Amino acid sequence: MISCWMKNVYIILLLMCAIASNAYSEDGQLSFSHFDTWISRYIKESVLVGGNTRTLYEVGPSGKFNGAKAFTNQGGCPWANSNVYAKVCGVVKTNASVYPDTHGNGKCAKLCTQIVKCKAIGVVNISVLAGGCIFTGNVIEPITSSSNPMSKINVGVPFTKRPKAIKFDYKYYNPGTNTRIKETGFSKTKVIEGKDMGECVCLLQKRWEDTDGNIHALRVGTMRMRFDKTTNGWVEGKEFPIHYGDISKESYYRDWMGMVTGERTYHAINSHGKNVPIQEEGWADASETPTHIIVKFDSSYGGAYVGTEGNTLWIDNVRFVY
């Protein structure tokens, strides 16, 4: 019986750490991107994992969304994050790695890379590294299995504008180590060479669905930036250009700016209600009109369970420049 309980706890912790109509106004801006209003969720976890009531935060109109139940984006908000609720074999567990914080006279989003610890049935300790993430789309709750973490999130929202750049306020803290760790809960902590970095992604796609329900996409516009140095306070209104068409031969191009494939492949819900991989098949013509946009911020760039504890990225006032 204990081994069965422990298996459930492992599955839930891994899931929590892996994750994540037009939602813009007439002026072409994403709603709720000032991050001044948040929804509080109060969820009581199972006795098996401590029985505590946890608070999860979601961007949206100010309010509460109580209880262990699936969250859906509120008030037309396009933003979701890595604060999620899972229920595996009746065991309820949560993860919180995104929080509201103060910035000026308002609030902002604080994304944290941290070690999530859990003491199951008061005996066995489990530790998993979790990064903070906020993105356009929604999480499909409750999480019920550990297979293919990216299939648990619907990434991107409808968007047909062609902004020249994305700008936002940000603050970044890096502990300064030149190594990262991989901590999955299944094995010993593994040290990985290379400095951790925060990341911002803004991708414009032209998507379509075939007769079998597969979603295909061409990359219309690309902005992908990584942050590796602690900032001296807030950087206000920094603009990052969005490049259109095939950028693979440009001097600023890096391999990680290309098509998103493999275990990091984004997913989206098709017309049959199934969350399927978005098959990015190449670069669109530079004059193409997009159908969807993906905006995503991460406190650590290395994927599930990889990063440096303490890495923190603050984000506020996300705007497009036309």
Burial-class residue 26 by CB neighbours within 10 Å (0-12, 13-18, 19+).
exposed
- State which residues form the domain around 192: 2-321
Number of domains in the chain: 1
Inter-CA distances, 294 with 137, 188, 238, Å: 8, 34, 19
Inter-CA distances, 244 with 17, 37, 226, Å: 33, 33, 19
pLDDT value, residue 21: 44
pLDDT value, residue 305: 83
CA atoms within 13 A on the CB side of 151: 12
Inter-CA distances, 27 with 84, 145, 252, Å: 31, 40, 30
**Contacts (Cβ under 8 Å, ≥6 apart) of 3:** none
List the Cα angle 60/153/296 in 5-degree steps. Answer: 65
pLDDT value, residue 113: 96
pLDDT value, residue 216: 98
For the chain (322 residues), the mean pLDDT of every run of 10, in chain order, is 49 49 73 98 92 96 95 96 88 93 98 83 70 96 76 94 98 96 81 96 98 98 97 98 98 97 93 96 98 98 90 98 98
Which pTM was predicted? 0.91
